[in-house]
Amino acid sequence: MRHPYPIREIARQAGLSEATVDRVLNDRGGVRESTVMEVRQAIKDLDRQRTQVRIGGRTFMIDIVMQTPERFSTAVRDALEAELPSLHPAVVRSRFHFREACPASDLIATMDKIAKRGSQGVILKAPDLPEIGAAVSRLVATGIPVVTLVSDLPSSARMAYVGIDNRDAGATAAYLIGQWLGDRPGNVLATISRGSFRGEEEREMGFRSAMRLAQPGRSLVEVTDSDGLDATQRDLVLEALKRDEDIIAVYSAGGGNAATLDAFDTLGRECAVFIAHDLDHDNTRFLRERRLSAVLHHDLRQDMRRACQTIMRAHKALPDEGPFLPSAIQVVTPYNMPPGVPLAEFAG
C-alpha cells in the first residue's frame, strides 16, 4: 500500500488508531480484513481529496452516514467531492459510512462510534425512528452538529434539513401523470423503498393527495419495503402487476427503477407514464432511452455545499444565515438536461 501520507493522517481519515494503521501498512497481521479495507479506502479518499483541496485554511472532518442504494451514495460522494473547491479557504475532509440495507442498530453503532471518536459534523440520511433520533441526540450532546439530507428527522436534535420539499415533489409527480394520462383509464403504481424514510413517505402522501383531487377515479397501488434494491423491487412489482392488470403508470419515490421496468417487460405490459427521482446513472440512461417520462431532480452539489456550510456555521466559521428555502425541484426530460450531462447522449 504505497502512499504519500503520514500515518496520523490516514488514521484520522479511517477513524482508526495509529498503531492499527501502522500494523496494516507494514503487513504485520493480526487485523481483520475489514480493517485492512478501511485503511485502503482511507488512502483512496485522501488521494481524491488531495487534488481538490488546497492546503491552508481551517480543516473540517465531516462524516456522511447514509442508508441508501449504491447508485445514490455514489452520486452523493461525487457531488461532495466536486464541491470541495467551492468551500475554500476551508478544507473539508470526509469519511463515508454507506449501507444499502441494514438494521437501524448498524447505523446507530456507526453514529455512536463517531460520537466517541469525534467529528466536526455529520450529514445523515436515515429512517425516522425513535432510536435513530436518540443517536442524533447523543451526537449533538458531544458538540457534533447533524444535518439531515434528502429525508428529514424533524423531531430529532438535528441542526437543519437540506433537500427538496418532498410533499411538493409528490404533488408534482401526480400533476404530470394526470396530464399525460388524461382521460385514459388505468391505475397507478407508487413505489417507495421503505415507509420509515420520512422523505419518501412525504412524497407518497403528496402524490396520493394530489392524485385523489385531480383524478379520484384512479386506484393507487403501493409497493414498499424493497430498500430500493433491484432484486427485491422486481419481485414486489411483479406481484403488484399480476394482482392488478390495470396498472399503466408508475411514480417511483424510492428508486429500483431498473427492476420496475424489467417487471413490466417480463409480463409484456406497457408503462405509459413513469416519473422518477434523481439523475443517477440508471435514471439518466432510462431517460435517454425514453423509458422514463420525466425525472424530478434537484442540484445535489448545491445540497452538499449547503450541508457543509451549515456545519461550518455551527462552528462559527461562517456568519449566521436566515433559514433557507427547500431545494428547487426540476422537471427533467431528455431535452433539458442540467449542465454536465452531454446533450449528444440524448439525441435520437
pLDDT of residue 168: 97
Instruction: Decide if pLDDT at 273 tops 70.
Output: yes
206, three cell numbers: 403528496
CATH number for the 166-297 domain, one of 3.40.50.2300, 3.40.50.970, 3.40.50.450, 3.40.1440.10? 3.40.50.2300
| Pairing mode of beta strands 294-297, 330-332 | antiparallel
Asked if pLDDT for residue 342 goes beyond 70, the answer is no
* 3-state DSSP assignment of residue 220: strand
Q: Which CATH superfamily is domain 59-163+300-327 in?
A: Response regulator (3.40.50.2300)
Domain boundaries, the chain: 6-30, 59-163+300-327, 166-297
Compute the Cα dihedral for 162, 166, 168, 169 and give only its sign. Answer: positive
Predicted local confidence at residue 131, as pLDDT? 98
pLDDT band at 53 (very low <50, low <70, confident <90, very high): very low
Report the SS3 class of residue 268: coil
pLDDT of residue 228: 79
Of the candidates 134, 157, 255, 113, the one whose C-alpha atom is nearest the C-alpha of residue 197 is 255
pTM across the whole model = 0.79
Over residues 131-139, the mean pLDDT reads 98
Classified as helix, coil or strand, 304 is: helix
- Note the pLDDT of residue 4: 83
The whole-number pLDDT of residue 1 equals: 66
Tell me: the pLDDT tens digits for 283-295? Answer: 999 999 999 999 9
CA separation for the pair 272, 217 (Å, rounded): 17
Query: What does the pLDDT read at residue 54?
Result: 44
